[in-house]
């Protein structure tokens, strides 16, 4: 019998896969042999397969499916795995638990697509094609950002969002928790951040003009919910990186605590407009006390080594007009109030570094962030290269290739999205996170890439998924598998969409 290809090709594409004749069938007699330390992978496999298959997959010393953690394995790095499927046994091996978790997602993709269903599917033989797979990601940072500040989403949706990331071997969930239009994380010492800052009276209905929907919008997570999210993601090998925006995009915080702003006598609303807001945090000592207290709570909840503190789109007009801010710039020996931006981020970044965390910031130019920052380059591909040359670690996420809030086409049927651009599936697939002009040293500084979904125009889970899929599949493929041809990617995607449909993803057609 000739080797049978898998029924739907894998996405992302594994480094090496050889399919062979024959298959292994999971049934009610299948047992798992789990080596010490590999239990989280067994748990994830059971959790993922139970709803559709009902298979108990109990442990047994002579189990046919072996999940083996072997710290002596070489060549697989921190996330790679090897998977051997024969007619009588399955062996999943990795050097790390994370590698095993990635392999579990591959097993899941190799099963009939009904295995992804949320409800019981009877009468389906749960077969895996015989295969030898060795799979190691090309890049260590494969992220997705969701903005829950512009439109709040309940925890239940974030858990599903993480599940979908895990299927695609995305490993960083960047959670944009605060912005001008809403503050979503509770901080015990500053309860008004969510009580006041978590609610706005209405929202603009378009990108410009003065039209509003008249509907209040609000929401905030509890600390317990955020802890649950972190645990849920960790069980899938995903790090949740929180973002607390400063010193701009902070209007909700200033609305809650006017003394944090540049004009303490002024009471502002949580912003109801979209765009770049002039309101920024002040630069007096109480503001740094505030930032430290907030970030201490953030560090308590989020074990992520990386913490994002924003830094983008920060107008300096309020500082220029404020005698206190101008005096602060002079005292700090800065050339002027505009330099307070880098100075501010540097102070907060140093605080995080001393706590053993790594600050991440948005790059506005590629050269303005303090040394110890990991740079998220979004405006211009040249910024990613400049930052890498300066010695920053870089996440290269050029907006023209990774911002999923832009519509996928300019066609008349496309629902309105972020104005000013189109990001097609081919644009995402064509984005090489490692700039072609990078020297080997600079290329080594590029950790990876990320998709971003700002939610001014994406209020519901259905809209979020429509914008995210299948474009995120392209980013996942590119960052895990490296360059693949369009023909190869699009033919695998055609099969993969059956998985998205089984998961009831409301994807772009």
Show which residues are catalytic: 179, 249, 313
Choice between 8 and 279, CB closer to ligand ACM: 279
Residue found by looking up tokens 């069980």 in the block: 235
Q: Print the binding letters for residues 264-303 with ligand ACM: x by CB under 6 A, - otherwise.
A: ----------------------------------------
Q: Does 221 bind ligand ACM (CB under 6 A)?
A: no
Q: Does 163 bind ligand ACM (CB under 6 A)?
A: no
Choice between 361 and 461, CB closer to ligand ACM: 361
Q: Could you give the 3-state DSSP secondary structure of residue 159? A: helix
CB atoms within 10 A of CB 409: 13
- Residue 245 CB, nearest approach to ligand ACM (Å): 9
- Residue 306 CB, nearest approach to ligand ACM (Å): 16
Q: How buried is residue 4: exposed, middle or buried, by Cβ count under 10 Å (0-12/13-18/19+)?
A: middle
Q: Could you give the 3-state DSSP secondary structure of residue 84? A: strand
- Residue 423 CB, nearest approach to ligand ACM (Å): 13
Q: Name residues contacting ligand ACM, limited to 94-133 (CB under 6 A).
A: none
Question: Which of 378, 406, 457, 489 lies at the binding interface for ligand ACM (CB under 6 A)?
Answer: 378
Choice between 195 and 312, CB closer to ligand ACM: 312
Choice between 149 and 298, CB closer to ligand ACM: 149
Give Cα 177 to chain centroid, integer Å: 12
Give Cα 470 to chain centroid, integer Å: 15
Q: Print the binding letters for residues 44-83 with ligand ACM: x by CB under 6 A, - otherwise.
A: ----------------------------------------
Q: Could you give the 3-state DSSP secondary structure of residue 487? A: helix
Choice between 190 and 378, CB closer to ligand ACM: 378
Phi, psi dihedral angles at 406 (to 5 degrees): -70, 145
Q: Does 195 bind ligand ACM (CB under 6 A)?
A: no
CB atoms within 10 A of CB 223: 14
Task: Compute CA distances 481 → 219, 295, 395, whole Å.
Answer: 38, 35, 17
Q: How buried is residue 169: exposed, middle or buried, by Cβ count under 10 Å (0-12/13-18/19+)?
A: buried
Choice between 149 and 226, CB closer to ligand ACM: 149
Q: Which residue is nearest to ligand ACM (CB)?
A: 312
Q: Name residues contacting ligand ACM, limited to 316-345 (CB under 6 A).
A: none
Q: Does 457 bind ligand ACM (CB under 6 A)?
A: no
- Residue 452 CB, nearest approach to ligand ACM (Å): 7
Q: Could you give the 3-state DSSP secondary structure of residue 426? A: helix
CB atoms within 10 A of CB 376: 32
Two tokens, residue 328: 């602060």
Q: Name residues contacting ligand ACM, limited to 379-398 (CB under 6 A).
A: none
State the Cα–Cα distance between residues 174 and 241, nearest whole angstrom. Answer: 5
State the Cα–Cα distance between residues 57 and 92, nearest whole angstrom. Answer: 15
Contact between 493 and 470 (Cβ < 8 Å): yes
State the Cα–Cα distance between residues 505 and 509, nearest whole angstrom. Answer: 11
Q: Print the binding letters for residues 403-422 with ligand ACM: x by CB under 6 A, - otherwise.
A: --------------------
- Residue 275 CB, nearest approach to ligand ACM (Å): 10
- Residue 379 CB, nearest approach to ligand ACM (Å): 8
Q: Does 312 bind ligand ACM (CB under 6 A)?
A: yes
Choice between 169 and 471, CB closer to ligand ACM: 471
Q: Name residues contacting ligand ACM, limited to 347-376 (CB under 6 A).
A: 362
- Residue 364 CB, nearest approach to ligand ACM (Å): 9
Give, as one character, the DSSP assignment of residue 405. T
Nearest to 328 by CA among 300, 302, 347, 310: 347
Residues at the interface with ligand ACM (CB under 6 A): 312-313, 362, 378
């Amino acid at each position: 019998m000739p080797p049978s290809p898998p029924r739907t090709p894998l996405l992302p594409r594994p480094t090496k896969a050889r399919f062979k004749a024959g298959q292994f069938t999971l049934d009610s007699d299948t047992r798992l042999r789990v080596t010490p330390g590999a239990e989280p992978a067994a748990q994830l496999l059971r959790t993922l397969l139970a709803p559709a298959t009902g298979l108990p997959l109990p442990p047994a010393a002579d189990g046919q499916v072996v999940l083996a953690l072997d710290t002596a394995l070489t060549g697989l790095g921190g996330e790679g795995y090897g998977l051997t499927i024969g007619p009588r046994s399955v062996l999943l091996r990795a050097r790390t638990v994370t590698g095993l978790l990635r392999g579990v997602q591959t097993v899941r993709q190799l099963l009939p697509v009904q295995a992804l269903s949320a409800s019981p599917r009877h009468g389906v033989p749960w077969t895996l094609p015989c295969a030898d797979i060795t799979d190691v990601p090309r890049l260590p940072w494969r992220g997705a950002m969701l903005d829950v500040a512009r439109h709040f989403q309940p925890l239940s949706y974030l858990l599903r969002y993480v599940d979908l990331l895990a299927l695609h071997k995305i490993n960083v969930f960047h959670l944009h928790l605060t912005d001008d239009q809403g503050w979503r994380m509770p901080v015990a010492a500053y309860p008004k951040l969510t009580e006041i800052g978590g609610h706005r009276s209405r929202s603009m209905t378009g990108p410009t003009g003065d039209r509003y929907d008249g509907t209040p919008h609000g929401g905030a997570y509890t600390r317990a919910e955020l802890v649950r999210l972190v645990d849920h993601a960790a069980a899938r090998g995903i790090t949740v990186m929180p973002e607390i925006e400063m010193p701009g995009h902070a209007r909700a915080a200033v609305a809650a605590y006017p003394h944090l702003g540049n004009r303490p006598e002024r009471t502002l609303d949580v912003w109801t407009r979209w765009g770049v807001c002039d309101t920024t945090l002040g630069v007096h000592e109480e503001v740094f006390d505030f930032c430290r207290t907030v970030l201490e709570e953030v560090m308590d909840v989020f074990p992520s080594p990386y913490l994002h503190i924003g830094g983008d789109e920060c107008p300096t007009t309020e500082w220029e007009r404020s005698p206190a801010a101008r005096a602060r710039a002079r005292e700090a020996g800065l050339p002027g109030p505009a330099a307070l931006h880098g100075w501010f981020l540097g102070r907060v970044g140093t605080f995080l570094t001393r706590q053993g965390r790594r600050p991440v910031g948005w790059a506005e130019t590629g050269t303005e962030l303090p040394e110890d920052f990991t740079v998220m380059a979004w405006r211009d591909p040249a910024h990613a290269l400049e930052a890498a040359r300066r010695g920053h670690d870089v996440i290269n996420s050029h907006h023209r290739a990774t911002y999923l809030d832009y519509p996928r086409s300019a066609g008349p049927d496309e629902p309105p999205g972020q104005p000013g651009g189109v990001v097609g599936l081919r644009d995402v697939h064509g984005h090489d996170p490692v700039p072609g002009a990078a020297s080997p040293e600079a290329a080594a500084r590029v950790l990876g890439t990320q998709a971003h979904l700002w939610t001014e125009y994406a209020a519901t889970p259905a809209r979020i998924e429509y914008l995210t899929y299948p474009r995120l599949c392209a980013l996942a493929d590119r960052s895990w598998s490296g360059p693949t041809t369009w023909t190869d990617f699009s033919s695998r995607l055609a099969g993969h969409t059956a998985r998205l449909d089984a998961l009831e993803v409301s994807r772009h057609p």
